[in-house]
Structure 1
Amino acid sequence: MKAVYSTASLAAISLALASPSYAQNADAEDGDEVSLPDASRSGDFNVIIVTGRAGGSELRKAEASYAITTLSDDALRLTNPASTADTFKQVPGFWVESSGGEGSNNVRSRGIPTDGYSAVALQENSLSVQYDGGLGYLNPDQSFRFDETIARVEAVRGGPASIFAPFAPGGVVNFITRKGTDEPGGRVKYTWGNYNLNRLDGYYGTRLDENWGVFVGGFYRQSDGMRDTGFLAEKGGQIRGTVDYDDGRNSLMLDVKYLDDRVPFYLPVPLTYDADGEITDVPGFDSREDTLAGPDTDDLPIKNVGRPYLFDLTEGSHTQMTQITLNGVLALNDTFALESRNRYRDADILRNAMFPTGNVTELDVFLNGIRPAVLAAFPGATDIRAEYAGGGVPVTDTTNGNGLVVGGNLLSVSVPIEEVITDNRLTAEFEAGGSHSFAVGFTYGHYDYRFDRYMGTTLLDVQGNARRLDVVAVDADGDVVGRATDNGFQRYGSIYDNVGMKVDAIALYAGDEWQVTDALRLDFAARWEQTEFGGQVAEKTTVNLGDPTTLADDQVLTGTGNFIEVDERFDDFAWTVGANYQFAPSMGVFARYTDTFKLPSAGEWNGNPTRTDQRSVPIKMAELGFKYGGDVFNLFATAFFSKFEGVSFTNYRFNPVTNEYDDPEVVVADTETWGMELEALVRPSRFFDLSVQATYQDPQYKGFTYTDQTGAVQDYDGNQLIRVPKLSFRAVPAVNLFDGRLRTELEVEHYTKRYPDIANSQELPAYTLLNLNFRGQVTDSLALGLNVSNLTDELGLTEGNPRAGSFNTGDPNARYFLARPVFGRTVRASVTLDF
């Protein structure tokens, strides 16, 4: 039978561990309840979890046979995440780069060797926001925004995630929204930020009768962005409406959401070293506040075959999306039930950004490097010089205070997508040698998308909101006889893609949670999945647009008018087995082994339709966990292992001489990671608590050897996985005053050194961030909040320059380089009114 605990035992658990909305002081007299915000980042042992499992029975977090973190409404309100990715920072096991802004960030878990959300599923109400999170330039966080309509979050790492969700070997993060039947009442919240942020969130929900409810909510926001872009960088919002029914056995929810929002995508910035060899700012450029993008790289015509392409940088990552979700549970009898989750999404997604590329170079060195080719191209030329585009004002090595130049790719990617996802399962609760919670189901996903990409490469000076430069050839009299660039462009058409894809995916799965005794539960689950995609990818050629006065239009990439057909199919089988043993209601251990896979993404064929290196990647994972809850101490500790076998690693390197990407190098290798995750909470009194999340891991490449373009053999076996630190540590001491009406937290985040390339040739140093969270409940309805991120204005680097290649970024001793730092000190203050 399922574990049954006495009323007295459950009362003791509640007393010791605290509920999501209230904590009880262990020193208080019997019956004295103290209202406190949820202090625990580990969550409550007794919360019922729905993510990472097939069964329909109730399962406490304390009884789970896999690592799961729950973030309650109170925890989310207090930390007030600035982006979807920021919520991941409260979960051990994840390495999160949220330095890209509100969308298009990178998430890795337990040694995942791929970027973005290609191996971590982002879910909303237990259904993927996007079936394949690894589609090129189409991260699922572009179609999702965190706001006050989110009630709680459940995050699963590894384990059963890949059995019950597609493209999720690294985990599933499930954002669960509010409903009218659960959340009667309303909220209005205004947030101000020191980057000209003005944001309004709100919702209202109510019951129509005992079983029916309605809910509406959303947000609208404007700001200049967390870096100084020189224009209004963030503008837009979303609204959702929900109708739901719940009679305790049957339920139905119709949720309609519309999103129209644009946010900037922040890229690496120039950096240098001081006299002590420490990384520091380039003179005249604030790496914490500035960005190279700005008004001078906005609203520019990029010449193309036919009419020019008008590049609008203010569009940023612009998503216009309608999403309709219909979920329901139908109880057939006391044993069987049908569950169905269905989603339709129609989105137009545009990504415009300025990608710094090449090397940060002194102006004189750059001019000397191109002088012979430019003089040879224009007879009569005796020298070259630099000037600001559009005005002809000469530029020297002292003009902007640092004498540096850098390339800048003005890239525009349009990815409209129409998608349907349906997940249906039959669940059963029955007795047979114990209690079983069984499910069998299938998932189907269909999506059509286009991928249109065009780019021009500019030459920029190095300053906040960099300016375009022209290089002109002059004769002995100083008269211009030709131009290496045109309006600041070194090359028009440096990238071109025209792709149309259609994908059909189907998965069959089954799972059983078998409560053998009151203390022991065994879990079994398996999944078979197939993905099939086909489409057309334009053949490319280079053309000369015919302007003899400039070199910028001599090698424009465009389509030939012919298309290459793509027709691929992949399938694989996965299984997992887990066991959980409860020594007591508040203490237990679990173990799990998972043999799973990652299927190729259709996006891998966007720029290379004839590639043959892709296949299903076998993945082996194991974990062993311990959980304990006491009156002053909670602990979740999980040891884990992961191995990815035969992963294709592709080296995309933008060549600053030709201003196009070199032919990519491909290496097939393994990765292997051992590690430990820790979540702990110490609550010695009602006035103070300390929560800790930590991950230590040793992520390595295995068998990574290849012959590079120079003919040299490179051996990177045993090197550390790129970008991932060995130690991620987050400690949050907190003070609760005035019977819990005022709570102040100091977040301490520490990350050890990382590397931006597989060669581990360049080090991204360790760094520590301090963040402050404050929430004061002025009245039962009115609350004030304050969030200060990067309190000490620390310079912390999250990634290097991917355009320099992922295998080896080049000269690790270069005086100047590109990398993407965390944001500087930001302040957000909020006022919340509940009614």
Structure 2
Amino acid sequence: MKKVFLLGAATMALGLPVTAHAQTQNETEASEGAAQAQNQPQRRATFSTGVARARDLLDSAISTSTLAGDEIVELSARSTSEIFRAIPGMRSESTGGDNFANMSVRGLPIALGGAKFLQIQENGLPTLEFGDIAYATADNFLRADLNLAGIQAIRGGSASTFASNSPGGIVNLIDKTGDVEGGTFQLTSGLDYETYRADFEYGGHITESLRFHIGGFYRQGEGPREIGYDGYKGGQVKLNVTQEFAGGGYFRFYGKYLDDRTPPTAYAPVMVTGTNSDPVYSSVPGFDIKSDSMLSRYYPAHLALGNDNTTVETPFSEGSHAKMWSGGFETRFNVGEWSVTEKFRYSDISGNVIQPYILTGTMPPLPPSIGSASSLMGMFGVTGIGYATGPNAGQMIADPSTLNGNGLLAIMTTPAVNLDSLDNITNDLRISRVFGIGDGKFTLTGGFYKSRQEIATTWKYATMVSEIRGDGEAALIDMFAGPTQLTENGFLGYSGVLIGGQRHDRYDLTYNVNAPYGSVNYAIGKFAFGASIRYDFGSAKGTLWGSSLTPAARFATNDVNGDGTITFPETRVSTLPYGDPAPVDYDYDYLSYSVSTNFRMAQNFSLFGRYSKGGRANADRILFAGYVDTTTGELLRDDAAYDPVRQFEAGFKYRTDALMVFATGFWAKTKEHNINLDRSYRAYGLELEAGYRTGIFSISGGATWTKAEITADALDPTTIGNTPKHQADLIFQVMPRIDTDRFSIGAAVLGTTDSFAADSNQLKMPGYTMVNAFVQYRPIEHWTVMLNANNVFNALGLVEVNDSYIPSSNVTTARVINPRSISASVRFDF
């Protein structure tokens, strides 16, 4: 039935090549670059993200990549962060879900997740001001669908001075704006997994000067992993309306509504044998690490005390629930010979995140939380265990050593995080003018950026005991010490018992960011010289409450389930100590600059070089970490306010109608302040991007070789000289395709060499290569039938391993890429 009902499946619309838009003179600079990028591999498009004015790439001293619709199709990606893996120089550690991807560029560190040094934008403004907010990374609130015209990415370069908090680079998702008449309706279904999706988009002119575009999607289903229920449910709608002005310029209003639930890809158990330098990873019996998940239909709702210290139930089906209302406008017009661009957006952002989490035994001083049932029973003095939930609820387990064929238990420290408010307001005003000076052209640009980012979240923990079983059928386990029951319906405590009741925290913060900036560029003959500067100054104000700051709040007694009886888990309840608040009240400022030169040696060849210094203001990641005075709210160390990044890059660009080759050597040095981190890093390497087209065949791709090193560590000097965790020597992308009138076929080969699981450089994560593929057939005009396959050969790709060395139990936990998934789509263009 599902093969007939072809209703939306993949996490993104993958079947529709985005048609190159014939941009009008009045269109935005951002849309110009994305739309014209359909000319791949020639890369003749101008590029506008993170620069003063849109220019031909061979006239710009920047390292960039552009993805248009047809290239996105051939990736057969299942999430936005998977799309980013096709960008040379970019690490996107995606497990296939729509959340919590770790992203960075050119060896810059990924310390505790998210995209700290990289800014993710939508139509030229950031989705979130900070890319590594705990449990609220920018990709949580991004969905790629048929609204997407293309993606522009800049690595390093002028990203430091044309956006705040983006020294590593910018990735900008650009929407269609209705300049091409027509629309699309598409139905998609998973063939070997259960998720169904419907997409639509339509745009066109209302009058000669007024046009619009609207589109969105809705989906529902379990997804590519076995979790036992519909983990995917929701969608989004986007709308924009553009009024063009006589004589040039435009005004555009746009809006977005997102309400979508997705299942987080949590750490899951995996066997590891061999040696630290040559480990062998495999599934534990009864649990396939590729396709199973620690989520289960038999997990009851998470219980803990909420914002008002009363019981809150959070069902696991909430998963990662992203909610976003946003609206804004952008305009461009001329005042005399000056060009003025104004962009404004307000976003109302909130949501929830719940996922099981298993601490591992090699994270001292924490006790082990996964292992044989007998070892965990002995640790807690347990004499017997039984099923708390599921079809066998109430039954004792006679022989725990044979449980599910693996004999394993997990004590899960499970967070349920309320994203109470991530609202932000952003505004970017820019003016620019070109002067004729001598035989050259002098471009002067100035602007002011202003944003306000709220971060109001509540962390609630519960500790649960679970068996290890796949197919979404794991049950919670009750533990008994003689006649005493230590758990209640599988809960060992309504707090983070294994972490001493800490991290039951709440913070309500507002970050203000202000940044005047400017640039000059002088082009004469074959040479262009540029310089830009940005001065960021801002503030962080708000209040913290939590058991992490107040030990007395870590374990209290509370009748959580309201039955009038206090059980052992109800003596392990964390509370929010509202009588013991900690303020946050500090200011910061830093200066960024960039200087460059470009030499257009020939029509098809140019050389460039650039030196930049930028910075990233720290947000919630330095809270509860000893960097902020809990009495005054001021910083205990001024250098913790922001982390500087210095970069040098030089390279060449060669482009003909059939061949494109861009190569860049890079060097970067950065500092990092984070939870339990006070470090410096250095990285250097070589980045290559190339494309070739002949007749019906084309191929594009890239490779990035990186050598990265920890150069200083104030907290753990033993890591100095080591390679940062997850940093591979080589990442690569190869994307061949064939296009004819009737059909298109292509693949995306995405790979990485091995890397270390932790900064101690002991346990390795093996490299892997993932192959995606697609086939499109157009039987008649307006109709297309498509197949998309993600991870065709079902490769095991480890993204994160939660141990620094092989534990004695040979069981660790890891996050891995999704298993093979195949979807079919039918599309009608009208």
TM-score by length of 2: 0.86
Query: Residue 444 in 1 paired to residue 443 in 2?
Result: no
Structure 2 counterpart of 1:183, from 167, 180, 185: 180
* Partner Cα separation in structure 2 for residue 172 and residue 544 of structure 1: 46
Structure 2 counterpart of 1:599, from 580, 594, 617: 617
CA contact (8 A) 2:217 2:236 kept: yes
Residue 83 of structure 2 aligns with which residue? 87
Q: Deviations over 1:493-532 (max 9, x none)?
A: 2241121112211001001232122x11112111000120
User: Residue type matched to 1:559 in 2?
Assistant: L
Query: Residue 533 in 1 paired to residue 540 in 2?
Result: yes
Q: Look up the SS of the partner of 1:397 in the other structure.
A: helix
**Deviation (angstroms), 1:586:** 1.7
Distance 1:442 1:306, change over 3 A: closer
Q: Look up the SS of the partner of 1:142 in the other structure.
A: helix
Alignment of 1:69-108 (within 5 A): 69-99=65-95, 101-108=97-104
CA contact (8 A) 2:86 2:750 kept: no
**Deviation (angstroms), 1:242:** 1.1
Structure 2 counterpart of 1:522, from 529, 535, 543: 529
Distance 1:39 1:303, change over 3 A: closer
Structure 2 counterpart of 1:324, from 327, 343, 355: 327
Query: Residue 648 in 1 paired to residue 673 in 2?
Result: yes
CA contact (8 A) 1:336 1:427 kept: yes
CA contact (8 A) 1:43 1:72 kept: no
Query: Residue 405 in 1 paired to residue 409 in 2?
Result: yes
* Partner Cα separation in structure 2 for residue 357 and residue 100 of structure 1: 22
Residue 826 of structure 1 aligns with which residue? 821
CA contact (8 A) 1:706 1:715 kept: no
* Partner Cα separation in structure 1 for residue 342 and residue 539 of structure 2: 23
**Deviation (angstroms), 1:38:** 11
CA contact (8 A) 1:311 1:410 kept: no
Query: Residue 783 in 1 paired to residue 798 in 2?
Result: no
Residue 423 of structure 2 aligns with which residue? 418
**Deviation (angstroms), 1:592:** 0.7
Structure 1 counterpart of 2:702, from 685, 688, 693: 693
For structure 1, which segment, 569-578 or 79-88, has the greater mean C-alpha deviation from structure 2 after superposition? 79-88
Residue 432 of structure 2 aligns with which residue? 427
Aligned length: 750
CA contact (8 A) 2:647 2:669 kept: yes
For structure 1, which segment, 554-563 or 238-247, has the greater mean C-alpha deviation from structure 2 after superposition? 554-563
Residue 799 of structure 1 aligns with which residue? 800
* Partner Cα separation in structure 2 for residue 340 and residue 303 of structure 1: 44
Distance 1:170 1:41, change over 3 A: farther
Residue 572 of structure 1 aligns with which residue? 590
Alignment of 1:62-141 (within 5 A): 62-99=58-95, 101-114=97-110, 115-141=113-139
* Partner Cα separation in structure 2 for residue 751 and residue 67 of structure 1: 21
For structure 1, which segment, 135-144 or 810-819, has the greater mean C-alpha deviation from structure 2 after superposition? 810-819
CA contact (8 A) 1:45 1:586 kept: no
User: Residue type matched to 1:347 in 2?
Assistant: I
**Deviation (angstroms), 1:308:** 2.5
**Deviation (angstroms), 1:728:** 0.5
Residue 61 of structure 1 aligns with which residue? 57
**Deviation (angstroms), 1:306:** 5.8
User: Residue type matched to 1:320 in 2?
Assistant: K
Query: Residue 629 in 1 paired to residue 655 in 2?
Result: yes
CA contact (8 A) 1:41 1:70 kept: no
User: Residue type matched to 2:261 in 1?
Assistant: R
Residue 677 of structure 1 aligns with which residue? 687
Query: Residue 147 in 1 paired to residue 171 in 2?
Result: no
Structure 2 counterpart of 1:285, from 275, 284, 287: 287
User: Residue type matched to 1:233 in 2?
Assistant: G
User: Residue type matched to 2:422 in 1?
Assistant: I
User: Residue type matched to 1:444 in 2?
Assistant: K
Q: Look up the SS of the partner of 2:379 in the other structure.
A: helix
User: Residue type matched to 2:575 in 1?
Assistant: T
TM-score by length of 1: 0.86
**Deviation (angstroms), 1:564:** 1.1
Alignment of 1:490-509 (within 5 A): 490-494=492-496, 495-509=503-517
Residue 301 of structure 1 aligns with which residue? 303
Distance 1:460 1:113, change over 3 A: same
Identity of aligned residues (%): 26
Distance 1:798 1:306, change over 3 A: closer
Residue 712 of structure 2 aligns with which residue? 703
**Deviation (angstroms), 1:745:** 1.5
User: Residue type matched to 2:180 in 1?
Assistant: E
Distance 1:67 1:237, change over 3 A: same
Distance 1:760 1:50, change over 3 A: same
User: Residue type matched to 2:231 in 1?
Assistant: A
Q: Look up the SS of the partner of 1:438 in the other structure.
A: strand
* Partner Cα separation in structure 2 for residue 68 and residue 242 of structure 1: 27
Distance 1:39 1:70, change over 3 A: closer
- Name structure 1 gaps, 5 residues minimum: 1-18, 23-36, 375-383, 475-479, 651-665, 708-713
Q: Look up the SS of the partner of 1:146 in the other structure.
A: coil
* Partner Cα separation in structure 1 for residue 686 and residue 189 of structure 2: 38
**Deviation (angstroms), 1:278:** 2.1
Q: Look up the SS of the partner of 1:86 in the other structure.
A: helix
Alignment of 1:352-363 (within 5 A): 352-358=354-360, 359-363=369-373
* Partner Cα separation in structure 1 for residue 344 and residue 696 of structure 2: 45
* Partner Cα separation in structure 2 for residue 146 and residue 315 of structure 1: 21
Q: Look up the SS of the partner of 2:755 in the other structure.
A: coil
For structure 1, which segment, 298-307 or 778-787, has the greater mean C-alpha deviation from structure 2 after superposition? 298-307
**Deviation (angstroms), 1:273:** 3.7
CA contact (8 A) 2:41 2:700 kept: no
**Deviation (angstroms), 1:297:** 2.1
CA contact (8 A) 1:212 1:246 kept: yes
**Deviation (angstroms), 1:765:** 0.7
* Partner Cα separation in structure 2 for residue 740 and residue 89 of structure 1: 29
CA contact (8 A) 1:453 1:496 kept: yes
For structure 1, which segment, 636-645 or 460-469, has the greater mean C-alpha deviation from structure 2 after superposition? 460-469
Q: Look up the SS of the partner of 1:558 in the other structure.
A: coil
* Partner Cα separation in structure 1 for residue 328 and residue 36 of structure 2: 30
User: Residue type matched to 1:786 in 2?
Assistant: L
Alignment of 1:205-354 (within 5 A): 205-247=203-245, 249-273=248-272, 278-302=280-304, 307-333=310-336, 335-354=337-356
Residue 747 of structure 1 aligns with which residue? 748
Q: Look up the SS of the partner of 1:398 in the other structure.
A: helix
User: Residue type matched to 1:792 in 2?
Assistant: F
User: Residue type matched to 1:430 in 2?
Assistant: F
CA contact (8 A) 1:470 1:485 kept: yes
Residue 665 of structure 2 aligns with which residue? 639
* Partner Cα separation in structure 2 for residue 303 and residue 325 of structure 1: 37
CA contact (8 A) 1:259 1:321 kept: yes
Distance 1:779 1:606, change over 3 A: farther
CA contact (8 A) 2:698 2:736 kept: yes
* Partner Cα separation in structure 2 for residue 281 and residue 84 of structure 1: 28
User: Residue type matched to 2:232 in 1?
Assistant: E
Residue 710 of structure 1 aligns with which residue? none
For structure 1, which segment, 484-493 or 154-163, has the greater mean C-alpha deviation from structure 2 after superposition? 484-493
* Partner Cα separation in structure 2 for residue 399 and residue 602 of structure 1: 41
User: Residue type matched to 2:489 in 1?
Assistant: N
For structure 1, which segment, 305-314 or 343-352, has the greater mean C-alpha deviation from structure 2 after superposition? 305-314
* Partner Cα separation in structure 1 for residue 303 and residue 377 of structure 2: 25
Residue 8 of structure 2 aligns with which residue? none
* Partner Cα separation in structure 2 for residue 812 and residue 66 of structure 1: 45
* Partner Cα separation in structure 1 for residue 469 and residue 252 of structure 2: 51
